[in-house]
Amino acid sequence: MIQFDDVSKRYPGGHSALNHLSFQVDHNEMVFLTGHSGAGKSTLLKLIMMMERPTSGQVFVDGKNLNRLSSRKIPQHRREVGVVFQNHQLLFDRTVFDNVALPLIIAGFQPRDVGRRVRAALDKVGLLDKEKKSPVTLSGGEQQRVGIARAVVNKPKLLLADEPTGNLDPQLSAEIMHLFEQFNQVGVTVLIATHDLSLIARMPYRVMSLQEGQILHGGVSTL
């Protein structure tokens, strides 16, 4: 599902964020990405989302060579990849429903389909009864669930998360990870960048560790 071939990323004026990185994530795998602050985790995710382009090397997502994708095709590519951020990036002046609906509205779905899909996504994260609330009235864990519902509402085959449990206590973090597991169990490939080593040590998934833009261990699929 994801393949990096000898990928390097150097930011203008900065040092190298990724150095000759090669790895694969298989279809339907769930993988954790760890490493110290600055190791390159967010950069790796941004290359997959095409928020950044590699300086050299090739990134493939679901068989597509992203180097060959024109800027015009980027919105379509982003719709196929669900993304969850640590700080949710929710709109606090809109309801929970409207936040989750946003990707569908942008994609031009009909209102009836929007309603059906938003409610299906909210049901999966256990927030069906909160659709009319403002996210500001929800707890941190619930806000993160809204972010996850928004990420999956387009039914992406690939789900990325950047520190999705960063602000949550251990119990809520475990619940959020369990939600990702449930999406993985129905066929979604999941890649999660996290610092939460004690939490992922208890879970049976591959851990890929980055150090200074290179893979320290876990670069080979275990499926």
Ligand X SMILES: Nc1ncnc2c1ncn2[C@@H]1O[C@H](COP(=O)(O)OP(=O)(O)OP(=O)(O)O)[C@@H](O)[C@H]1O
Task: By CB under 6 A, name the binding residues for ligand X.
Answer: 11, 14, 17, 35, 37-43
- CB of 79 or CB of 195, closer to ligand X: 195
Three-class HEC string of 52-66: CCCCEEEEEECCEEH
Q: Which two tokens stand for residue 118?
A: 């938003």
Query: CB of residue 187 vs ligand X: minimum separation in angstroms?
Result: 27
CB within 8 A of 94, min separation 6: which ones?
102, 134, 135
- CB of 35 or CB of 135, closer to ligand X: 35
Query: CB of residue 27 vs ligand X: minimum separation in angstroms?
Result: 25
Query: CB of residue 168 vs ligand X: minimum separation in angstroms?
Result: 16
Q: How far is CA 155 from the centre of its chain?
A: 13
- CB of 41 or CB of 145, closer to ligand X: 41
DSSP, res 203: S
- CB of 5 or CB of 163, closer to ligand X: 163
Query: CB of residue 63 vs ligand X: minimum separation in angstroms?
Result: 25
CB within 8 A of 135, min separation 6: which ones?
88, 90, 91, 92, 94, 96, 99, 143, 146
Query: CB of residue 159 vs ligand X: minimum separation in angstroms?
Result: 18
Q: List residues bridging with 10 in a β-sheet.
A: 16
Buried b (16+ CB within 10 A) or exposed e, 182-211: ebbeeebbbbbbbebeebbeeeebbbbbbe
- CB of 116 or CB of 217, closer to ligand X: 217
Query: CB of residue 7 vs ligand X: minimum separation in angstroms?
Result: 13
Buried b (16+ CB within 10 A) or exposed e, 81-93: bbbbbbebebeee
Closest CA relative to residue 29, chosen from 197, 168, 219 = 219
CA dihedral 92, 97, 99, 105 (to 10 degrees): -140
Query: CB of residue 34 vs ligand X: minimum separation in angstroms?
Result: 9
